[in-house]
Structure 1
Amino acid sequence: MADQRLKAYRKDTRGNITIISALCMLSMTLCLALAIDSAGQLNTRKLMQAALDSASLTGAKVVARGGHSDDEVKTLVINAFHSNMLTGRGDLTCGTPTVDLDADTGDVSVDAECTYPTMLGGSLTPKTLSIEETSTARGARKYIDVAMVLDVSGSMRGTKIEALKTAAKNGAKMLLDAGQPGDIRVSTVSYSTTVNAGQYGRYAVGEDVDLSGTFGWWEQGCVTERVGDGAWDDRAPAEGAWVTEGYYCPSIPMLPLTASLTDFENNIDYLYAGGGTAGHIGIAWGWYLISPKWEDIWPEDSTPLAYNAHDSAKAIILMTDGEFNRAYHAPYGNSHEQAVKLCEEIRDTGILIFSVAFQAPTEGQETLKSCAGVESRYYEASSDTELINAYEDIAALLTELRLVE
């Protein structure tokens, strides 16, 4: 009898559709809820990030201006975050943000955690979801030393060199206009087959240079890469730590740090394109121009800031339109290899490197990407306008309040 009942039950398929439909509806409901929660999570992250960015920028601005205690700054930042979150979704519950202040850099970092209820409220999914976000902002530094390292090789002839002149002068004007007289300074070194050290060549090479002579390129103060123990650092010229003389270089010598826009523009106006592309030599001299270890070489008004000077920043703006293709001491590698190593050493000192590839081939782009170190400091310019915009953007980044994380 029991077997007959079991067989009858097995044959009875009434209600199967209802059960299957119920299971499908349950699955669909769960999938829909998860999709809604996922979208809600994304929107919440965006809302939190915007609120945190605004709060960290508020704090960085207050720190840069000075006159407030750490506790006062933290209170302002926390209030700014909560005020911004009030304009978002009303079902969020946010704890008190954690605010960290870096006295050395002026950075203001804000971390926050918020929770919100899920669609199904704990029935089939967690009752709430938690989201953590962070933001770091930095106020503009008061004291800034900048070295512009400019490619004036033969491929820069024509409209390209004119665009570079405009870009460099616009960038310098923005930098110098942003600070009090003397607080921000710019320098420049142009490179082609070598670098023209001008009157400073006698200190760099360790022997007098006849600047008035025209019998050979060395008489103009041309220098190549450094060799020996000083090849990869910025130690000051001394016995056994000289750079070496070169054979052809730009007609205009480098310009040490200056707060005079007129002096800078006069140097830039005389740039002339010609020769090869020894970019690594330009990079090295860009470093020397803003290195405190070279303070005895440069004029008193051009003395570089110390690496750890309070409220300061140092930057190199490097550009090329080609591939680094000239080097003079084979054991040290080709121009690209030397450039990459030099850039690594420079960044280790805290100097920022911004690089601009101006209609450059792939090889040149890769060199400049490596030198910048991070994507946000690398620019590609395919036109004169984009080159000018790049320099103006870099100047703004160096002198304006900004997010760094």
Structure 2
Amino acid sequence: MKKMTERRSLMARLRDDRRGNFAMMTAFALPVILGAGGFAMDISNMVLKKAELQDALDSAALAAASALTNDKKSITEAKAIALTFFKTQMINKNGDAGAASAFKIDIEEKALAGSAKSFKVSTSSGLTVEFNPLSRLLGQKSTTVSANGTAEGATGSKNALSMFLVLDRSGSMSFQTNEIASKTVACQNWTSSNWGGNPKATTPCYIRKIGALKTAVASLFGVLNKIDPNNEYVRAGAVSYNDVMQPETQLTWGTSGAMSYVNALPEKPEGGTDSHSAFAKAFERLAPSDSSKETEIGAHKQKSGLEPVKFIVFMTDGENTHYNGKDGTANAKKSDDETLNSCTAAKAAGVTVYTVAFMAPTRGQTLLKACASSAANYYAAEDMSGLISAFEEIGKSAAAIASRLTQ
């Protein structure tokens, strides 16, 4: 009886004694705890390895794009260069090029205008990341991280631009400049003091403002012709105005159409000044932003694959005096206001506006200053040489802007 009691007492003590429970629980949980800690370290390592892989893939893509566009390498040569570059990067970062076996590269080539080509380089690879011994306690030995790289380039990239001229052909454009056209052949030298009369032809014969304008436009277009000798990247149009808008010439490839329009302006312009309709017409022609073939964006996309930079060149030698053929102070102000509204809309639509005040009075200068895209886009010309210089500088500036945006 005593032995049975002692046996029960021993069993009860064993049952009730919990001092070993923690050790048992620890024994069961320790692999999980250690594995979780190891996995946390592996997560950091995976993030690092993926970043290194991404850098190597981006660098390889850029190396291939540079080889194609700058060094004129073939696609096969560019792929080999990219692979070598990728291996070198991975060896520098990881001590081996294990990811090179999974390296893939695709090069998409597209023909542009003339002999130009564009290239899109895509690279990809995966990298096996071995887990540390602690993570392996959870039963997984490794994982794979993947990444993709891209780069683009083009050969023979040129400027793509559309430009519309808005030119004053009012009566004051008949006035003489200070430049002599002939010392022997007489002509009527119009000025503000004899305008409206019939002055006697005299010598020397001075170049009229309209003649100076034609020479200035030729200097501008000369710059554009140098960057686009085959009429593949530049489109130009023009409109003129006196107290009403005159018929415009449409935007066409190259500058010859617009130049012909300017050369056909009358040798003795007449009428008052109203710029609002002409500027609005230029904006209307340039404004559409969709890529249908009727728009400037569509025309360029279809021919060269480039999106054009858009410009308006707005010139006057006077100040607005009319509105739709009606004169008076109120009408002059209305023309100023609506011209400025169109300028604001054009600038908001991404059109760069250049303005040229050619011996213009204060109110005309004020309008052109407000209309220009910036102070650097406003030119004040006090003589023929200044006008020619202004238009030439506009040509250079427009070509430079287009080049920066399309390369």
Shorter-chain TM-score range: 0.3 to 0.5
Larger relative contact order (C-alpha < 8 A, sep ≥ 6)? Answer: 1
After TM superposition, the score normalised by the length of structure 1 is 0.47
After TM superposition, the score normalised by the length of structure 2 is 0.47
